[in-house]
Amino acid sequence: MAMYRKLSRTSAQRKALLRNQVTNLLYHGHIVTTEAKAKEVAKIAEKLIALAVKEKDNFETVTVKCKVAKKDAEGRRIKEERDGKKVAVYEEQDKEIRKDLPSRLHARRQMNKVFYPVTEVPAAGKGRKKNTRKIDMAQKMFDEIAPKYAERNGGYTRIVKIAQRPGDAAMKVLLELV
């Protein structure tokens, strides 16, 4: 028995295709694809979700002091003059950050090997670059997906057959998170 399906592609093309589909599955929650691709994508997605569930609470909260620029009511930095130059005024604040423990950091890096970068574009500001924001998929896995499946022992995805694709009669399926 083969370890994986080759999907009639070279190894580089196959890895790119699977990374793309896994990223989209975990970002959107479902994808429509062929049955063979769905089975391969499900294997990878199940492993990533299991990794996220295992490491979801493995961090410590640390308080750090940071310098933050003072801002006026309109959100612009307040500047004062020193030695003939205008210099921004800073104030110290305490900020709580979450610091990954080594095993969670390793898990995050393993996930980032699979995920492609995701950029979210809101519908209202479509076409404007400043309205876009980058999504940290590993953080989404730990914060949103892992707590949802914490009580579940595997079986995080479901494959539902839809119909045969016109043209080559390949079976189209809906791959979704349970």
123 pLDDT tier (thresholds 50, 70, 90): confident
Mean pLDDT of 27-47: 97
Which among 156, 175, 174, 168 is positioned nearest to 8, based on CA atoms? Answer: 168
Are the C-beta atoms of 45 and 26 separated by less than 8 Å? yes
Q: What structural domains does the chain harbor?
A: 11-58+101-177 (3.90.1030.10), 59-99 (no CATH)
- pLDDT at residue 1 above 70? no
- pLDDT at residue 30 above 80? yes
Give residue 152's pLDDT. 94
Q: What is the pLDDT of residues 40-97, one digit of tens each?
A: 999 999 999 999 999 999 999 999 999 999 999 888 899 999 888 999 999 999 999 9
132 pLDDT tier (thresholds 50, 70, 90): confident
pTM: 0.85
CA-derived radius of gyration, the chain: 22
